Structure 1
């Protein structure tokens, strides 16, 4: 199942620069691990915002929730999830 996800990050002002840098480093490693597994298929930054648009390829909504909730920045995110399905006018044979 493919999902389009928008993640908006809002770190608390009380977080020190060092704590924020460490959190971002761990987040980067986790996101790259999920990308290497093929679960996090695409990742784009939204210009001028601390936000991204991503495409996840998972077996279920439960798997998606489990994966997203493992992200170190999850407690500081506003997340919007949109399930995707094939459009009948698409010229592609598959979602890969």
Structure 2
């Protein structure tokens, strides 16, 4: 079993409402984890783009306000049921 660490943007003070790629990269560096070993779960197109730009696996949750088409893109898994997330992360 691999070790997993979790961080949340809501626990980090920030100026913008969503984290830019450099903030995502900084969080990974602080935890000592390379960006390509990180997974980001986001419900905004901006957050998904930031995760991809930082070189992280992006999971776009479309079960809220943002439609799937706005979250979709290269290297992004789009899903609409949170109960599916554990299996998606295991892939």
Higher relative CO (Cα under 8 Å, sequence separation at least 6) belongs to 1
TM-score (norm 2): 0.27
Structure with a larger share of its residues in strand: 1
TM-score (norm 1): 0.26
Larger radius of gyration: 1
